[in-house]
Structure 1
Amino acid sequence: MDEQQHERFEDPIDGTIWDVDATFLTSNWTCIWGNGCKGILPTDAEHLNQGCCSHGTRFLDEEESMNTGALAMFLLPSMFQFHAEAHEGGIYADDARTLTRVVDGACIFLNRPGFEGGEGCALHLAAIAAGESPTVWKPSVCWQLPLRAETRPDGTKVLRPWDRSDWDTEHSTIAWCCTEEPEPFVGETTVIHSLAEELTALVGPEVYVQIRDRLGQ
């Protein structure tokens, strides 16, 4: 990507200042899961079609962890490939319930290629089937990707794309980072529009409208 340009927006509700990566938001990045995504393993794993689901996902907090566990109970075997495994051993990787289990080399919720109920995240598929937003069903880190929100010591919020260092502090455990490679920048519209739902959930509707009106193309 080109050198990053940032814009600042103020939330009229609570006064929060958002410093956003305008370069990424106005780019034509798009998720290419299932269409060339190489995943987040140490080597190119496009053939596995795991995307960023190769590891268990970490929950934001206990409330999110419990919510995911409750939603998992409503998933039908026809839509959840590892329903039996979840029933027998639960969905959590640890007693503190901070992380989802890895089953057969990826997150327990990831339906693999060829599964009749649909390939991809079982929570995502269930949300769509229920006519609801995946942002309500999926753990926050999952629906936010490739977006990342952080808080600076002064209280300013930062909105930017994930980069390699967020996944991989040693720059050695992932072969490919989708926000830093050219292949995903092939979308038909800008991130502002293609990820409108996710952006609104992250920054709130008031700030999203400001971003759309100032940067939208």
Structure 2
Amino acid sequence: MSEETPLDTARLWVEFPDPDDVERGLSAEEGADTVYRIDLTWLTSDYTCIFGNGCPGIYADRPDVGCCALGAHFTEKADEKRVAKIVKKLTPETWQFFEEGQKENGGWTEVEDGARKTRVHQGGCILANRPGFAAGAGCALHQQALRDGVDPLEHKPDVCWQLPLKRSYRTVTRGDGTTYLEVSIAEYDRRGWGEGGHDLDWYCTGNPAAHIGTRPVFRSCENELREMIGDRPYEELARHCEALVSRSRDGSAHRRLLPLTVHPADPGRAGR
């Protein structure tokens, strides 16, 4: 497995105001300013999830569950409620730990440090089917979404479908005292996991082994990005990303290998 790249490298970012705010003529004084801050280097990278295709897992002793070794924390009550409805649809044929998940003293959730999350069972999320299970390995919720013909983000916990994208907010004060909400979309690197992220045995976003996708992240994760920031902001984001890619004669997109636009984990970066 290739060596992981450093966390801190030079990157190209772009900021743009919320297109809806611009259209409505809303000003900072009215308290409606929103500015999106986008990591173009990440979103135009060739990263792709390699679960089931060489992923060694975040812990060496639990490779079969990929990054699902710790369970998923719910972002809010609505998140848990939505997932609970899908769990009720699962059966012993679609969920390996169906019986364990029904136990009154066990179930499929647990509380850790005061926060509710999916329960860890046998070294991984209880909703993660293991290799050898008849329905196939991987998230039972993800698989249910495919059977239902919907995008997996409709069935999975927020933190699961958002990975490897990280959305963060902060209030920024300008020199004239006005403020705006900054919404950042960036790479969910090791630091996104908190202090424990540095202790993971392996992690994908900074590893060349996972930068083998056929589409840039802003296209492969289009549905997730639209859900996170909305359609019009996504279209503006995509416009800026497209400006960094060129199209070959067959119409496929390729990033221009220029300084700051190439993710450090890109296998083709060496020597530039």
Question: What TM-score do you get using the length of structure 1 for normalisation?
Answer: 0.91
CA distance in 2, matches of 1:122, 1:129: 11
Instruction: State the match for 2:207 in structure 1.
Output: 181
Q: CA deviation at 1:100?
A: 0.7
Q: CA deviation at 1:77?
A: 1.5
Query: Structure 1 residues 59-68 or 161-170, which shifts more?
Result: 161-170
Is 1:74 aligned with 2:92?
A: no
CA distance in 1, matches of 2:217, 2:55: 18
Aligned-residue sequence identity (percent) comes to 35
Where 2:185 maps in the other structure, the secondary structure is: strand
Q: CA deviation at 1:61?
A: 0.4
Query: Structure 1 residues 4-13 or 74-83, which shifts more?
Result: 4-13
Where 2:16 maps in the other structure, the secondary structure is: strand
CA distance in 1, matches of 2:197, 2:122: 25
**Contact in 2 for aligned 1:69/1:91 (Cα 8 Å):** no
CA distance in 2, matches of 1:130, 1:74: 10
Amino acid in the other structure paired with 1:138: K
**Contact in 1 for aligned 2:90/2:144 (Cα 8 Å):** yes
Larger radius of gyration: 2
CA distance in 2, matches of 1:138, 1:80: 14
Q: CA deviation at 1:9?
A: 2.6
Alignment equivalent of 1:63, drawn from 46, 60, 78: 78
Q: CA deviation at 1:48?
A: 2.6
Equivalence map 1:5-154=2 (5 Å):
5-14=12-21, 15-41=33-59, 44-45=60-61, 48-88=63-103, 89-94=106-111, 98-154=116-172
Where 1:153 maps in the other structure, the secondary structure is: strand
**Contact in 2 for aligned 1:124/1:137 (Cα 8 Å):** yes
**Contact in 1 for aligned 2:170/2:183 (Cα 8 Å):** yes
CA distance in 1, matches of 2:164, 2:189: 9
CA distance in 2, matches of 1:210, 1:193: 13
Where 1:94 maps in the other structure, the secondary structure is: strand
Question: What TM-score do you get using the length of structure 2 for normalisation?
Answer: 0.74
Is 1:201 aligned with 2:227?
A: yes
CA offset digits 1:83-138 (Å, max 9, x no partner): 11111132111297711101111001100011101210000000110011111110
Runs of at least 4 residues of structure 1 off by over 6 A?
none
CA distance in 2, matches of 1:156, 1:208: 15
Instruction: State the match for 2:236 in structure 1.
Output: 210
Is 1:165 aligned with 2:165?
A: no
**Contact in 2 for aligned 1:62/1:98 (Cα 8 Å):** no
Closer, same or farther: CA 177–197 of 1 in aligned 2, 3 Å: same
CA distance in 2, matches of 1:197, 1:108: 26
CA distance in 1, matches of 2:80, 2:17: 31
Instruction: State the match for 1:192 in structure 2.
Output: 218
Long gaps (5+) in structure 1: none
Amino acid in the other structure paired with 2:19: P
Q: CA deviation at 1:59?
A: 0.3
**Contact in 1 for aligned 2:73/2:115 (Cα 8 Å):** no
**Contact in 1 for aligned 2:13/2:38 (Cα 8 Å):** yes
